[in-house]
Structure 1
Amino acid sequence: MIVYLDLLIADNFCADAALLYLAVKTVRGDVSMLRILLTALAATALGVGYTIFCLYYSVPAAVDIIVKYGVAAALPLPAAKFRKKSTYVLCSAAFVGYMFAFSGMLTAFFSRFTLTGKDEYSVNGVPSGIIVAGAVAFAFGAAKLIKKLSNRRKVLSLVYDCALWFKGKCVRAKGLMDTGNRLKTADGKDVAVISRALALRLLEDSMLTGGTRGEKIPVHTVNGNSFMTVFRIERMEIYCADRPNIIEDVAVGVSLHPLGEYDLIMPFSFTEDKNTQTGREQEHGSAQIAEKTSAKDESGG
């Protein structure tokens, strides 16, 4: 059996570092690349040393399994900080699972290298350095892509289908909940910002007849101060889960700039379930009326 130590070291180090990083990220632990790299380096030393030991001495299968998987289960402990023991256990399980799923591919990749006459490693004539550099670039590119997709998913989780009602006219729109929208009218009412296109569709009939009245509110941005025209509409329906959240008498302001792919930007206060609150108030009022009626019946009044 021929063992190339440099390939064995590269195989172990790359696999341990990559899988430890994945395992820690899976349980949302505090990632420290320095700790992960140092842990991977220590694991590589242990792994290479154990492999060389097994070349000269026979190890029982049971002992081999205990050593390999015992070390694998313990590796995540120095690789990151864990606030709970259960998080560490999950991280160890994730690391072992990723090892079963991915490390075999990495081992197969390194086993493809062949030693040329110039003491250089290559795969199908391609120098190993180019392949490793390409693999590293691919890993970083994939990580950035996943991060962008994750951020996109977070944004989409705050996007809702909405319906705006004004003087009997209903217009559908795509709205984004934004904690940064803190616009208020003079009387302290939260303002939903709508695009000019949506404003024209919603208010066009009233604008032509001059029946739409608005107020100017100040807007402070990084580009300076300006004013926004705010109108009142009858209600807004925000569709989430099995029923819409209905908000009456909504203040909407026409944006001075395009809103991109959204039709309106809603303040986060619009997430409050107005239907549930109103229903509880009605139930409470009905209960009070029932109590008064029962008291009158008992008194004979």
Structure 2
Amino acid sequence: MLDPLLVIAAKEPLTRQMATGAMQQHFNLTEEERNARIPSGQSTFLRNRVGWAMTFLTKAELIEKVAAKTYRATPKGIALRAEHPNGITLQDLRALKGWDEAWHSSKRRRTDAEDSAAPTEVGVSTATPAEALDNAVRTINADLKSRLLDAILAQTPEFFERLVLDVLVAMGYGGSRADAAEHLGRSGDEGIDGRVNQDPLGLDQILVQAKQYAVDRPINRQTIQAFIGSMTGQGVTKGVFITTSSFNDNAKEFVQRGSQTKVVLIDGDELLSLMLRHHIGVRVERQVEVLDLDQNYFSDDE
């Protein structure tokens, strides 16, 4: 599906829904083939494969987002297609410079197991079945993070503030969700978006700043400095700054030099990892049991 989708995206903007219909016509699928579902039953084979094809094209920078859920071919994609008049394959994408980096950027913080390595092809001879399974999970989570970020950026700033509190509550801060909601930023809070209790008695509070920025708009030192100024003005020494984008080097260095205040920076990639870890905004689609031999059952000991 990679090649026909790229060809269509070079002619007109394309959504996943449009792509699904186009592939249905391109392959002249029967009604039974269109409705055939993957083993989990959560989606059809057609929608699943179209989704992954568009993910691969996006990671390879052959298509790009031009509007909400809408994509078109990039100059790179058009040029690659011209170099392969007989069609492109997944192997052509894997041969592109930056393919591995697209799945896992070395600039991002590695906060949990799913970020420990770039995804590789499932079933290659160098991978054990267990490694292949882990690689598949990493690939799925990388795609989920991308779709999760799109969903977040499509929401209002107020929604993002509530999302941030949901994550902090899931991590054990702020008490209950209702307690945390009472501490959303209000007028007169000097731009603070929220505050959560670090302990059950509320003896120590943490101020929260949430910025719903595009990935190409990093947080700078001035923004962090203003946040710390608000903390000082309210007599609070601990804060968390969370964004969907990233922090530039000056912002990070400024936080590290702080002696009177402690500020934790959570960038977009770490936020997405925390959401996956605590099941915020995501659901379990399917569970796979991996069984192993129970040596105790076959032990001679009675």
Fold equivalence (TM over 0.5): no
Normalising to structure 1: TM-score of the pair?
Answer: 0.24
More strand by share: 1
Q: Which has the larger radius of gyration?
A: 1
Flag the structure with more relative contact order, 1 or 2, with Cα contacts below 8 A and sequence separation at least 6.
1
